[in-house]
Amino acid sequence: MVKNPYKPYPVKIDEIIVETDDRNLRTFHFKFLNPEDEAAFQYLPGQFAEISVPGQGEIPIGIASSPTEKGYLKFTVNKAGKVTTYLHNMKPGDIIGVRGPLGNWYPWDKLEGSNVVIIGGGFAFTTLRSSIVYMLDPANRPKFGNITVIYGARNPGLLLYKEELFDWERRDDIVMHITVDATNDPNWKYNVGFVPAITKEKAPSSENAYAIVCGPPIMIKFTLPVLRELGFAPDRIITSLEMRMKCGIGMCGRCNIGTEYVCKDGPVFTFEQLSHLPNEY
């Protein structure tokens, strides 16, 4: 029987974590109600899913968990509208739906054997978190060269996954550059500066390296030229777009850029691919 692409899998909210000081970003752990649904939900870092709340609607959200983390799915949700506000008021044990996985993923087959630079900003760090956990898994770590992460937020209280960030910083198989735009915290011991500037200062050599960039459009706009200056070829700069996505399967036509649908042909594109599309992203 052909699977209905609009039918979500039922999941239970297992855990809710408040990520940021303003309490607008919360991470939800979902557990599948049916083991066969969990087995069918095979994904790779970079993909997204539609979270559906009965009676409220559904929203596309990048998957923050890694496929190496078994037993649950993880999404970080910004309270910004009807569905997300309702979801923020739900409790562990409540039942919702997850439809997916959807879209393409970061090109892991091409990245193997190369150094990888992860550059992220603010709330858009979710699929990058999935990527880092995926690469650091003992079964995958030997497949990749040096891993460097540059991640920033407006202030320390808006950084996601703080405990993991500081755990990764203590490891010797990943280089972390954490930054904030500004802070009054006298105990802040990390970088202060915008992500593009920190990238220019801290990013490693572009030799045998790929850069994955995900963040606010303004951050991406000013980071891409920096990477080009550093010698990253357009086909080695990878980004993820999440603009205007609705149905998630290329049917509603809301998210097209030229001939490409962000939800179906993306959300992952190389800078080279984007250079051939209208500048509508």
Q: Is the previous residue joined to 60 through a cis bond, with omega within 30 degrees of 0?
A: no
User: With left for phi above 0 and alpha for psi between -120 and 50, is residue 122 left, alpha or beta?
Assistant: left
Residue with tokens 């870092």: 45
Q: Mean pLDDT over all residues of the chain?
A: 93
pTM for this predicted structure? 0.94
Contact at 8 Å (CB) between 116 and 135?
A: yes
pLDDT category of residue 56 using cuts at 50, 70 and 90: very high
State residue 47's pLDDT score. Answer: 96
* pLDDT higher than threshold 90 for residue 276: no
* pLDDT higher than threshold 80 for residue 232: yes
Closest CA to 276 of 254, 259, 263, 253: 259
State residue 1's pLDDT score. Answer: 60
* pLDDT higher than threshold 90 for residue 263: no
Residue 110 CB contacts under 8 Å (≥ 6 apart), including other chains: 210
List, for residues 172-209, the tens digit of each pLDDT value. Answer: 999 999 999 999 999 999 999 999 999 999 999 999 99
Distance from C-alpha of 201 to C-alpha of 233, rounded to nearest angstrom: 19
